[in-house]
Chains A and B, each alone.
Chain A
């Protein structure tokens, strides 16, 4: 597991940029709407201020000259009633535009944000599906899912919420402060002093407390684990009569988790209250400074109210800015974790690879292979004639599954590891998809999708007719079992549906493979969970069905193996023997030993052999 993977800074930006593409216009619109809305939002207090000063009182608003020149103050003063109507109307119009802009900001951000996260998720999924089998075995499912969900969410928050929030807040501070400065220097400076104090306080506090958050979160994880283990292990708990012990253990963890949060809450409470106190003090300072300035005649009443309003409006954004900035560091780690997946290499075909029909003999030519430093196959050579049935016998770890993986190109042979050819073409020169499409494979522990049985059986060819599916199910002897299910062919299986038994799963998987209609079929011990009678029935039906196809069987049962045209005995990664059934039982060796035991298992032998292993 690559847990310390670091994505270079430049590639982090590139990763974000790649998924922003196509959504850039939404984000641009978000920022634009956001800034424009701030401008309009700043206008309402000014309208009120000017009204108070120029219409109700008879003063000059404390505004720069150019702004005063824009307003027909004398005309407004001429008829105060008319002026009030105009002011009220102006407030409505400005707020209406502001409302529309806020809607625009949120709606475009939603599109941009959803588009961004969709693009990222899709890319991850597509990439994961095309990563090598090797990669999949090396990484744990839970960890990958964590990266694809939680980490993606952190990145989304960073790009879509935090970045736009920072832009917005910075613009807001800039806008308000510059307006305030143009109105009254003293009051503005008093207000400005608080901005870095509040921002820093917020940021430093959050940074300091984040460790405690982590501890408290982990404590919650422990409670969950404790409950989960109790529920899954309920039989063990009951069988040992450990209910009391379990309750005590759970309570201890539950108490610890709650206490940690309550203690954390004490700190948070101080932080929240201090933040509020600081911002209230900021407003008070503006009121105090404004009062002094107004009394001195440097500030009009209306402008005083404007400054107080601006002062209060600045308080919250500054507080959240500090917090957002200290939170943003999380995104770097998440980008590393997601980047780890996206920069893994996908399966790739050679440039000269082409589509080839698998209608020749399959030849393993001096194949030597291993993984994790361990040799699995050692100089293995054999030929499977086209249209024949070929069986492989081997123990656990003999390398028989590796043979199959190599033929299906789940692993590729490197240079000097020999070659596998079909009809004379090295399979590395065949397009991977084309090759796999022509090889049908049933595994011992098959994987079914959380879909209906019909969709599972028709997985490779959703367009296949119902008749075709039914006949495949009949060959696999699973048609009756399907009919017995409550929803029949529409029964959903797997995690979100009905659990099938091992034998049923194997038979559904076999039907699925038959629908694929491949010229090469591999049965990797795929009837091990099926009882003897059914096994015989399936094999008979199969023989009818697969005429002309090349069939590879892997099994322990001599009765299964002996139907093959040729049998390969694999022992510790080497070819121990190869030949027809008749040849193999004619000479001493592993095959004959097994044949003797299995075929002569009469009662006496069962008892004797059984008595002395």
Chain B
């Protein structure tokens, strides 16, 4: 997905937005910290066991007390074993449920955002926010937190142990700690930067594959194979450079850290050796010291790089929280919600029945993302049961009127009345529950045919579903499918043809039994038999309903009581078919052209 650069400074206020999400898990975090203390204590003890073995048994050449020693050692390890299980489980719990909470909140919030938001936001962007950003945040808040916690506990414990064993020798080791920290602070942002670049190039290469495959026919006909291969190789070349660069930074960083930690070992060996030679230090203590010196720097580096990675999380947090803060542009007033309920908890008992009389009163409208007014002081009365066809070229803005009537957008000025009352006086869901919508590219959901039809009325019985399907000949689709009603339609219905999807979506609309019906007609060619079914289905749906037809076919246009002609976003003509033809204006031009196309197709198809 798009990898926006967020090179902002550290900003505490962004991090504070996480607190409400984390609050639920505070006890688990507390338990985690406690468990980590125990775990680290055992980890710090291991070199001490070694020291004890040398001092008590080897130096004295005796095995007295060896068995209790081993028992205690084992007990410590078993304790660590159980603590460690609990710890990992708790961390996994935090990661998954924190992610789940964020995904749930975002998804729910997105259901309330207006269509205008969806019009300007690519689906890929939303998916990346809901899926990737949340799992990154949750993963870091769980595992990176655990990492930082356990590493710092160990470092503190080991330092304490060393100070207790011999504070002068301990100071030698402590001097190296800031060196490692500084190294990490220098390297980590650079490593992260190159890693990000590698990720970016990776998606660029995926994009190039996509274009090379979907555009294969064009590339062949233009004989551009070699050029496109060269472009591709340039991209992979960039990837090579960036990949090597990122890996080299890493390759330099790790050995440097290791070298400094072995410098500490060398110093311990030298200083400790002096002391041992003078009799001021036992050999056993020296060996424990060396083990600490070897083991302490990896956790130090761990803490530093986890913190650096943690800071880079800020961009993800910002994206997630800003999406959650996004305000819908179409909202119900508190009074309306009070009476009619919101989308999640409707108060259906207070809903008045909808008859379907729609009136545009002095409506002026422009889309929220700018541009000029597409409607100005527009008046139109659509009595209940009227069929309105909207015609015009592709991309002329035919959906505007439907968007307004369905309250996907609200007028910039003026009013839209439904059954004589401003539609803002009642809830969006009240209106939407009375609309049946069939799209140009019908949208189905993964799942069976039956589930898809049931979407129109969630409590419908199988008989009702079958009846609805029969009414619009969608049962002919079902008959062709191997598993009948329970056949899976595939992701977004991609196992069915456009015509079949359309019939299913008609059935869905019939089941909903809406007062207002909207059809955005398909332009793509559909075989004659299916076409016939679709025409019958449309007839069935138009009966007794207020309908909007965004029409392409003459047969559909002719069904209308009123035709609105759209050009460059504006309504330029309106009237009945005959009136408009007589006018010999733009409609006449459009219609005769369409007529020529369709008649030719009819002759050729016959």
- In contact, A502 and B443 (Cβ under 8 angstroms): no
Check B80 against A276 for contact (C-beta < 8 Å).
Answer: yes
* Cβ A241 vs Cβ B343 within 8 A: yes
> Is residue B178 contacting chain A, with contact meaning CB distance below 8 A?
no
Q: Is B483 an interface residue (CB 8 A)?
A: no
Name the B residues within 8 Å of A133 (CB-CB).
Answer: 216-217, 220
With contacts A237-B111, A395-B601, A516-B222 taken as known, whether A98 is within 8 angstroms of B258 at the C-beta atoms is yes
**How many angstroms from the CA of A272 to the CA of B558 in the assembled complex?**
71
- B525 adjacent to chain A (CB < 8 Å): yes
Q: Write the A257-286 contact mask toward B (1 if CB under 8 angstroms, else 0).
A: 111011011101110111011001101100
The winner among A257, A291, A304 for most chain B CB atoms within 10 A is A291
Pair A606/B81 contact, Cβ less than 8 Å: no
Give the residue name and chain of the B residue nearest to A576 (CB).
B604
Q: Does A32 contact B (CB under 8 A)?
A: no
Complex Cα distance, B96 from A262, in Å, reads: 7
Query: Other CB < 8 Å A-B pairs besides A236-B439, A241-B432, A502-B394, 7 of them?
Result: A88-B267, A111-B244, A129-B212, A225-B446, A238-B408, A450-B211, A495-B210
Q: With A57-B283, A235-B408 in contact, do A141 and B92 touch (Cβ < 8 Å)?
A: no
CA distance A57 to B406 in the complex (A): 92
Q: Counting CB contacts under 8 A, is A126 at the interface?
A: yes
Contacts of B19 in A (CB 8 A): none
Q: Report, as a range, how many residues of chain B touch the other chain.
A: 35 or more
- B247, B269, B584: the one contacting A109 at CB < 8 Å is B247
Residues on B with beta carbons closer than 8 Å to the beta carbon of A437 = 223
Docked complex: A195-231 residues within 8 A CB-CB of B = 220, 223-231
> A234 on the interface (CB 8 Å rule)?
yes
A521-542 Cβ-contact flags toward B at 8 Å (1 or 0): 0000000010110000000000
Residues of A within 8 A of B428 (CB): 241
| A window 565-613: CB within 8 A of B | 571, 590, 593-594, 597-598, 601, 603, 606-607, 609-611, 613
Q: How far is the CA of A398 from the CA of B600 in the complex (A)?
A: 13
Chain A residues with CB below 8 A from B255, complex form: 98-100, 102-103
Q: Which of B246, B518, B600 is in CB contact (< 8 Å) with A597?
A: B600
Closest to A109 in B: B247
CB distance from A484 to the nearest CB of B (A): 13
Across-interface contacts of A259 in B (CB, < 8 A): 96
Residues 413 to 458 of chain B near chain A (Cβ within 8 Å): 428-429, 432-433, 435-437, 439, 443, 445-446, 455-456, 458
Residue pair B252, A241 in contact (C-beta under 8 Å): no
Q: Is the CB of A114 within 8 A of B59?
A: no
Contact A241 to B429, CB < 8 A, known contacts A126-B229, A144-B213, A598-B596: yes
Given known A-B contacts A235-B115, A447-B218, A531-B393, A247 and B107 have beta carbons under 8 A apart: yes
- Give the complex CA separation of A258 and B222 in angstroms: 49
Known contacts: A56-B283, A125-B212, A601-B596. The answer to whether A288 contacts B218 by CB under 8 A is no
Residues of A near B484 (CB, < 8 A) are: none
Q: Which residues of B contact A255 (CB under 8 A)?
A: 100
Q: A85-B270, A265-B93 are in contact. Are A460 and B277 (CB under 8 A)?
A: no
A-B contact pairs, 5 of them (CB 8 A): A118-B236, A240-B512, A295-B63, A502-B394, A503-B393
CB of A145 within 8 A of chain B? yes
- Chain B residues, CB < 8 A from A131: 216
Query: Does B27 belong to the interface (CB within 8 Å)?
Result: no
Which listed residue (B214, B273, B597) contacts A447, Cβ 8 A? B214
Establish whether residues B558 and A301, one from each chain, have CB atoms under 8 Å apart when the complex forms.
no
A247 touches B237 (CB 8 A): no
CB neighbours (8 Å) of B270 from chain A are 84-85, 87-88
Within the assembled complex, what's the spacing in Å between the Cα atoms of A82 and B604?
Answer: 104
Q: How far is the CA of A345 from the CA of B363 in the complex (A)?
A: 62
Chain B stretch 250-285: residues in CB contact (< 8 A) with chain A: 250-252, 254-256, 258-259, 262-263, 265-267, 269-270, 273-274, 276-277, 283
Complex: how many Å from CA A590 to CA B443? 38
Q: Does A446 contact B (CB under 8 A)?
A: yes
Contacts of B97 in A (CB 8 A): 258, 262
A1 within 8 A of B: no
Distance of A292 from chain B, by nearest CB (Å): 7
Q: A240-B456, A295-B58, A301-B283 are in contact. Are A251 and B50 (CB under 8 A)?
A: no
Instruction: Mark contacts of A155-199 with chain B using CB atoms, 8 A cut-off: 1 yes-contact digit, 0 otherwise.
Output: 000000000000000000000000000000000000000000000
- Indicate whether A130 reaches chain B with its CB closer than 8 angstroms: yes
What is the CA–CA distance of A57 and B127 in the complex, to the nearest angstrom? 67
Question: Which A70-108 residues have a C-beta within 8 angstroms of B?
Answer: 80-81, 84-85, 87-89, 91-92, 95-96, 98-100, 102-103, 105-107
Could you tell me the distance in whole angstroms from the C-beta of A455 to the nearest C-beta in chain B? Answer: 10
Chain A: interface secondary structure?
A: helix
Please tell me which stretch of A11-19, A44-52, A465-473, A544-552 contacts chain B, meaning at least 4 of its Cβ atoms lie within 8 angstroms of it.
A44-52
CA distance A56 to B126 in the complex (A): 67
Find the B residue at minimum CB distance from A220.
B131
Interface string of B551-586 (1 = CB under 8 A from A): 000110010000000000000000001100110100
Is A21 part of the contact surface with B, judged by Cβ < 8 Å?
no
Q: Which residues of B contact A145 (CB under 8 A)?
A: 206, 209-210, 213
Which of B49, B252, B287, B456 is within 8 Å of A52, CB to CB? Answer: B287
- A-chain residues with CB within 8 Å of residue B262 when the two chains form the complex: 44, 91-92, 95, 98
Residue B99 interfacial (CB < 8 Å): yes
**Cβ–Cβ < 8 Å partners of B240 in chain A:** 114-115, 118
Contacts of A89 in B (CB 8 A): 266
Q: Does A386 interact with chain B (Cβ within 8 Å)?
A: no
Select from chain B the residue with minimum beta-carbon distance to A224. Answer: B131
Q: Does B325 contact A (CB under 8 A)?
A: no
Closest 10 CB pairs of A and B: A265-B92, A395-B604, A110-B247, A106-B251, A269-B88, A239-B437, A95-B262, A99-B255, A241-B432, A233-B443
Task: Check if B213 sits within 8 Å of A128, measured CB to CB.
Answer: yes
Interface class of chain B by DSSP: helix
Q: B265 contacts which chain A residues (CB < 8 A)?
A: 44, 48, 91, 95
B177 adjacent to chain A (CB < 8 Å): no
- CB of A519 within 8 Å of the partner chain: no
- B334 close to A (CB within 8 Å): no
Give chain A nearest CB distance to B30 CB in angstroms.
19
CB-CB nearest in chain A for B233: A122
Q: How many Å from the CB of A15 to the closest CB on chain B?
A: 18
| 6-37 of chain B: CB within 8 A of chain A | none
C-alpha gap A72/B112 in the complex (Å)? 81
B215 at the interface (CB under 8 A from A): yes
- Knowing A247-B344, A450-B207, A606-B581 are in contact, say whether A240-B214 is a contact too (CB < 8 A): no
A283→B46 contact, CB < 8 A: yes
Residue in A115, A240, A259, A603 whose Cβ sees the most chain B Cβ within 10 Å? A240
For the complex formed, measure the closest distance between the CB of B561 and the CB atoms of chain A, giving whole angstroms: 16
In this complex, what residue of B is CB-closest to A147? Answer: B209
Complex-state Cα separation, A138 to B453, whole angstroms: 31
Q: Roughly how many angstroms separate A55 CA and B275 CA in the complex, as a whole number?
A: 12
Residue contact A231 to B96, C-beta cutoff 8 Å: no
- Chain A residues in 8 Å Cβ range of B495: none
Please name all residues of chain A whose beta carbon is closer than 8 Å to the beta carbon of B212 when the two chains form the complex.
Answer: 125, 128-129
| Distance, CA A593 to CA B406, complexed state (A) | 44
Q: Does A244 contact B (CB under 8 A)?
A: yes
- Bound Cα distance from A51 to B273, whole angstroms: 8
Contact with A along B287-302 (1 / 0, CB 8 A): 1001100100000000
Q: Which residues of chain A are within 8 angstroms of B207 by Cβ–Cβ distance?
A: 450, 495-496
Contacts A114-B243, A118-B240, A136-B216 given; does A280 touch B558 at CB 8 Å: no
Given A103-B255, A145-B213, A408-B221, check contact A254 B443 (CB 8 Å).
no
Q: How far is the CA of A502 from the CA of B97 in the complex (A)?
A: 46
- Cβ of A427 under 8 Å from chain B: no
Question: In this assembly, does A287 line the interface, its C-beta being within 8 Å of a C-beta of chain B?
Answer: yes
A273 and B85 in contact (CB under 8 A), knowing A52-B287, A235-B437?
A: yes
Q: Mark A345-364, 1 if CB is under 8 A from B, else 0.
A: 00000000000000000000
Q: Would B276 and A56 count as touching, CB distance under 8 A?
A: yes
- Judge whether B599 is part of the interface by a CB distance below 8 angstroms: yes
